[in-house]
Amino acid sequence: MTAEPAEPNEAVEVVGGKVETVEVSKHPTPSIPETDLSLADIERRRSHPLRWAAMILIVLVAIVVPYWFGRSLAVNETEAVVSALGGVDPRGIALIGWVAVVITYVGLAMAVVVSPSWPWLIVFAVGLAGEQFVAGLSMLNLNFWYSTYVVYGEQASLANAANIGILAAAIGIAVYAVIFVGLLVVIKKTSPLNVLTKSWASFILYFVIETLALLVVLFGGLLTAV
């Protein structure tokens, strides 16, 4: 019995500006196993909806519960709060508020950049809970200086310092976002300056902006003005 001649496994391609017939690889056996799952089913399995639902619930709890607890302490246990924080310098209180916001943002940013992201999502949730607790304890709102004076009286400067630290860090994030987006729009991918849009460069830029914001708070006279 004579074996049938194998069919040539060739293709026509343009090589160096000329049309040539070249050999291509042949895979008689599929390397990807067959499956009855559709592309939508595969993407749904990869998305882990239960994990994301749990994370969203954790974030909501981290926003509501610590703020409520801190505010309850401020209103119902004012003397205990003042006694515990009365000897702390307002700059130290402002630093605590600033650090809480920075930790929150870094955790969120690293969760986006680094894989696996769950350890950094935990850092984000813990930082958010800490920031919300400080915000509740210092009665943070749009007109916080009135609320803090009503609750803390002559010791309102401590709560005001925490609020200023939180707001300074939040403003630093906003300034960083505007600058970074501007760099993405202005700088071309082929430009040597494109290095400024890399992850490590963006983190350096963020910390420089946040450090400047903190220095303005600590030494710019804001803590004595409010």
* pLDDT number for residue 154: 85
* pLDDT number for residue 223: 81
- The C-alpha atoms of residue 226 and residue 83 are separated, in whole angstroms, by 21
Give the three-class secondary structure for 9: coil
- The C-alpha atoms of residue 128 and residue 170 are separated, in whole angstroms, by 12
DSSP for 6-34?
PPP-EEEEEETTEEEEEE----SS-SS--
Give pTM, 2 decimals.
0.75
- CA nearest neighbour of 70 among 159, 10, 150, 157: 159
Domain boundaries, the chain: 49-225
* β-pair partners for 22: 11
- The C-alpha atoms of residue 205 and residue 90 are separated, in whole angstroms, by 27
* pLDDT number for residue 13: 61
34-67 core/surface letters (b: 16 or more CB in 10 A; e: else):
eeeeeeeeeeeeeeeeeeeeebeebbeebbeebb
* pLDDT number for residue 176: 95
* pLDDT number for residue 23: 65
- The C-alpha atoms of residue 213 and residue 175 are separated, in whole angstroms, by 10
* pLDDT number for residue 41: 52
- The C-alpha atoms of residue 194 and residue 186 are separated, in whole angstroms, by 10
Kindly state the DSSP code that residue 136 receives in the 8-state scheme: H
Question: For residues 158 and 88, is the Cβ–Cβ distance under 8 A?
Answer: yes
- CA nearest neighbour of 133 among 77, 212, 70, 62: 70
User: Per-residue confidence of the chain (226 residues) as pLDDT tens digits?
Assistant: 555 555 556 666 656 556 566 666 555 555 555 555 555 555 555 566 777 788 889 999 999 999 999 999 999 998 998 888 878 889 999 999 999 999 999 999 998 888 778 889 999 999 999 999 999 999 988 888 888 888 988 888 899 999 999 999 999 999 999 999 998 888 888 888 888 888 888 899 999 999 999 999 999 888 876 6
